[in-house]
Amino acid sequence: MDIKITKTTTPKAKPTGKLGFGKVFTDHMFIMNYTEGKGWHDARIEPYHPISLDPSAMVFHYGQEMFEGLKAYSGADGTVRLFRPEMNAKRTNETNKRLCIPQLPEEDFVEAVKAIVSVDKDWIPKEDGTSLYIRPFIIATDEFLGVAPSKTYLFIIILSPSGAYYESGLAPVGIWIEDDYVRAVKGGMGFAKTGGNYAASLIAQVKAHDDGYSQVLWLDGVERKYIEEVGAMNIFFKIDGKVVTPMLNGSILPGITRNSVIQVCKSWGYEVEERKISVDELLDAQKNGKLEECFGTGTAAVISPVGKLRYKDDVMTINNNEIGPLSQKLYDTITGLQWGKIEDTFGFVVKVD
């Protein structure tokens, strides 16, 4: 892929103080067009700028879009690292297939990510726990109100320096098990990383927040009995010494952190089960003192310990509302690989020049 690079002549001031998440963007962006018959073309890096679209552009009406999320980490050794970007490239194409968006060569995805991160390398924050959040996305741009797959698209990558997810150690969160609304069903697009899934989830998120819970845990869309995943995280339990997580069934997002946690746990000799988990099983395990730990996994937080799970009138408190030893060890290990503090025996890390 040939990437034309135009650098800004008016670089912005870098943020100072607390970074937060997703509000500050770097000096440049990657853009590439797709046109039916021509394929993906005109890969370029340009100064960060607003995009102009016709109000009839399809993405505004029928939601044909996808996104990804990954991070670049600045190591203590000065090396910039990505975490398994080829998995994001692969997942992009799985999402694209479901949404009738054209396939994007996986090596081009990784090359584009590396190129834009390299151009804006100075924007990667260096303080402990910070990173550069990378947001690739594709939108349908045909000017047409008919319902059909678009014939033109834009693939864009923007970057946002982000602060440490945990300001003062890994604090357990309270989670609301949603028994009314559902996020996805088998045959739907739950496995795809697309805005529509998030639009469908907001109402339950608001409800959970109003009740003092920070996230929603979704149940299966048919029986509302089996655990699926949290808002933007997959979910794990340690039950009676075993690591257990819902199996990928088409309505769960196949998280890269999830996949990595499974590999790391297995390498430590844990038995890992990917299977159906009912709420009743959790309530039983809790009653019998066997629900040892619960944590969410995702790129943003890496590991998010869960201290409280609410289901209807039951509130399960897990591990005294404190972070468990496995959650802590997984966090230390995966972030250790990302920041280059631990030797990468898994082959997870990709360096950026």
Ligand X SMILES: *Cc1c(COP(=O)(O)O)cnc(C)c1O
Establish how many alpha carbons lie within 13 A of residue 287's alpha carbon, considering only the half-sphere containing its beta carbon.
Answer: 7
Alpha-carbon span 121 to 229, nearest angstrom: 33
Give φ, ψ of 248 to 5 degrees.
-75, 120
Among the listed ranges 36-44, 249-257, 280-288, 319-327, the one in contact with ligand X (CB under 6 A) is: 249-257
Quick one: which of 298, 305, 307, 340 contacts ligand X (CB under 6 A)?
A: 298
When asked if residue 299 is in the footprint of ligand X (CB under 6 A), the reply is: yes
Nearer CB in complex with ligand X: 35/259: 259
Quick one: which of 232, 282, 326, 337 contacts ligand X (CB under 6 A)?
A: 232
Least distance from ligand X to the Cβ atom of residue 145, Å: 28
DSSP 84: -
Among the listed ranges 15-23, 34-42, 55-63, 227-235, the one in contact with ligand X (CB under 6 A) is: 227-235
Alpha-carbon span 15 to 37, nearest angstrom: 43
Among the listed ranges 26-34, 108-116, 231-239, 336-344, the one in contact with ligand X (CB under 6 A) is: 231-239
Residues 142-201, interacting with ligand X (CB under 6 A)? 193
Nearer CB in complex with ligand X: 256/264: 256
When asked if residue 221 is in the footprint of ligand X (CB under 6 A), the reply is: no
Quick one: which of 229, 281, 292, 293 contacts ligand X (CB under 6 A)?
A: 229
Least distance from ligand X to the Cβ atom of residue 49, Å: 26
Quick one: which of 58, 253, 285, 303 contacts ligand X (CB under 6 A)?
A: 253
Q: How far is CA 286 from the centre of its chain?
A: 29
When asked if residue 234 is in the footprint of ligand X (CB under 6 A), the reply is: yes
Quote the tokens at residue 15: 């943020």
Nearer CB in complex with ligand X: 45/219: 219
**For residues 136 and 92, is the Cβ–Cβ distance under 8 A?**
yes
Angle separating helix axes 106-119 and 85-98, nearest 10 degrees: 130
Quick one: which of 71, 258, 308, 310 contacts ligand X (CB under 6 A)?
A: 258
**For residues 176 and 217, is the Cβ–Cβ distance under 8 A?**
yes
Quick one: which of 58, 117, 159, 256 contacts ligand X (CB under 6 A)?
A: 256
Least distance from ligand X to the Cβ atom of residue 46, Å: 27
Work out the burial of residue 18: count CB atoms within 10 Å of its CB; fewer than 13 is exposed, 13-18 middle, 19 or more buried. exposed
Nearer CB in complex with ligand X: 130/215: 215
Least distance from ligand X to the Cβ atom of residue 274, Å: 15
Alpha-carbon span 6 to 22, nearest angstrom: 24
Closest to 80 measured CA to CA, from 137, 128, 135, 122: 122
Quote the tokens at residue 323: 């972070």
The region, left, alpha or beta by phi > 0 then psi within -120 to 50, assigned to residue 94 is alpha
Size of the site for ligand X (CB under 6 A): 14
Residues 47-76, interacting with ligand X (CB under 6 A)? 69
Closest to 302 measured CA to CA, from 73, 55, 23: 73
**Residues engaged in binding ligand X (CB under 6 A):** 69, 193, 229, 232-234, 253, 255-258, 297-299
